[in-house]
A and B are shown apart, each in its own frame.
Chain A
Amino acid sequence: MASDPRANLKPLSLHVPEPKFRPGDVVDFADIEVPPAGAGRRPDVAEDAATFPELAYGLVRVLDGEARAVGPWDPRLSPDRLRRMLRAMALTRAYDERMFRAQRQGKTSFYMKSTGEEAVAVAAAFALDRDDMCFPSYRQQGLLIARDWDMVDMMNQVYSNRGDRLEGKQLPIMYSTKEGSFFSISGNLATQYPQAVGWAMASAAKGDTRIAATWTGEGSTAEGDFHSACTFASVYRAPVILNVVNNQWAISSFSGFAGAEATTFAARAIGYGIAGLRVDGNDALAVYAATSWAAERARTNAGPTLIEHFTYRTEGHSTSDDPTQYRSAGEPTAWPLGDPIGRLKDHLIQLGEWDEERQAAMDLDLAEKVRAAQKEAEKNGVLGHGLHQPLDTLFEGVYEEMPWHLREQQQMMLDEEEASGRPWARK
């Protein structure tokens, strides 16, 4: 009998990634490499994508341990602009807290916070023009807040009430505003990525000067849409900024399941021939600097940029999630890059342009503003308190004009409601 020629090999083994810390574990993030602030070079915006590997594996940071802005990426913003950015980030957090509580009070079915990731959206919005088109995921509410979008309008959407411009058709937080250059959010992950590239290609094809920016979490980079978007962006040198918000967690899956054990997300840009930057996502100045760099690159026809924002999802994935079931409760406080709001606040204090008293007063003022907006929004009703939209609007907007079969179903529904004696049918 012939012997098995492979008998002397060790059996194969399947590697299944495992996060470092599970519930109950003591957290020690010492192995996360945090390069010093100001260390990375700032290339010319026209530089060839092939020269970017060090930036794709490094970490662009501006604010150092003493909250000073250092190095070539320091965007040198005026204190006034810094204060406005700080305010928008704090307002985003206050809004999140209020809406999370509203969900717990049963006023809406669902909410998602962006706690700890405020800089990623807010600082980017400050670096973009108001009419640059944003294709966000569901965790960039800071874009709307930084663009001074009406908070009552946002709450109306969360409550699916009479004031909801989306007519109660969308799950809470799936905002949409063309006027705010904020594309309709979809529940389907990463679909916005090729759409943003297409929007940018259209802008270029028409000789426009506007650019597009899109965001996805690190988990969703595993979707095929991410690949097709990067390919299109590279092939047509689309004026687009591709943001990957690496907050370490995709619901209960740590970033290792999206490939983070082997490489960085910014490094994926290299293979596509796209400029890749890896940025401290809790450093508002680094996010601002990288975004304005990428915007200038896009606007000068030098091509797309992929920015990985290295950050941490401080809270649960959503109101339907309990993170203590899969990760250590010690993670958020142990996160080595700190809190984006605290770091920007400390920077302003260090500049002599801010103090703890003013911060406390601002927080109080913002909490009051959010509370007032909530009161205003709740005048339009909250979810579950009766019907806020006329029953027959359910059929509107499927097509530009309602085809016969929808008119027929609409009438059928109204007739059934009428026959049932329910008050809904009587508008």
Chain B
Amino acid sequence: MRVSIPLRPLSRPSTSVNALCKGSRPVVWTSRRRNYSTHPPNARLNIPTDYSTTPLLAHSSQTALANPELPPEARNGTAKRMNLFQAINDALSTALAEDENVLVFGEDVSFGGVFRCTMKLAERFGGARVFNTPLTEQGIMGFGIGLAAEGMRPIAEIQFADYVYPAFDQLVNEAAKYRYREGRTGRSAGGLTVRMPCGGVGHGALYHSQSPESLFTHIPGLRVIMPRSPLQAKGLLLSAIRSNDPCVFMEPKILYRAAVEQVPTSAYTLPLSKAEILKEGKDITIISYGQPLYTCNAAIQKAEEDLGISIELIDLRTIYPWDKECVFKSVRKTGRCMVVHEAMVNAGVGAEVAAAIQEDPDTFIRLEAPVSRMAGWSIFTPLMFEKFNIPDVARIYDGIKKLLEY
């Protein structure tokens, strides 16, 4: 964590936060390294991610525009450097411009949002379409469902994924079941997209760090999506907004400012329920999503260097309904696999992926080691111990070694 993020009690943007938003100031902030992000002097593995060199981000516009999933008009267009919050802002702005039924609301979205994702949207599209709600998550969700059920395309924001629980009834019993129980009327809450910042941020402790995605993946009717980068965030968010199923869009908040890459400027979507192979390999498959992909990538680099192996890295992107075929195909090839996520291991996404892998007869017989899960411990995220809880490079590296040694 190099930059300070405003946390929940913030009522006004501080001037420093404003200054940050105006341009490429993060440089100023890199010198203000916080104590918790330093690494021990002899560390070889647990070195903070250098987002400016990671191959998981498109550092040049050529790389960004060469993405084969982009439609031709995006590929022939231009690209612009954006961080994750700017890419989300870009997607929201595109959605608001292309469809008058799109509305953006939540706590504090009007002035730009506590993470700046809704900057200038109220000014551009008017207070009737981009607005603050009272501080009530169940109200935000219920309000959004009502809008969607009457044909609008609401984009609701829950300020932190940690605060989605008051809205759980509305998500589980209402948003998810709406189409099913309406039957022949054809009404649904499919127009609804719920955005929420999630994941560890270095100092978020119990209520600014959670990754509750597996609670949503247990709800039929919802699509659960988590992007890893600005380019992905824009394409997947536009897909979620245009999707006729209710979507939970989880944004790893540690990447809001940290992940910067070239993002195509025209409107484009990326497919839902389709995984992406980030790196091909033949000895081990690592499956993850969101921020841990960067950690996985760093561990893979070291392991390949040290052990002379090659590892395949898969980004699930949509966590439910997920792309089983892509994962099975890879594991059939490598015979060894690890699922990595921040949320606790118990009944997490890893449990579902591992179970599905061993249940698929063709994949099961190719397994040469038990499926491994590298995830948060079965605890909460304690302030001073976060670095021991969220899977880091050393733990993933060690997991790779254990998979090979089995």
A and B assemble together: no
Residues of B participating in the A interface, judged by any CB pair closer than 8 Å: none
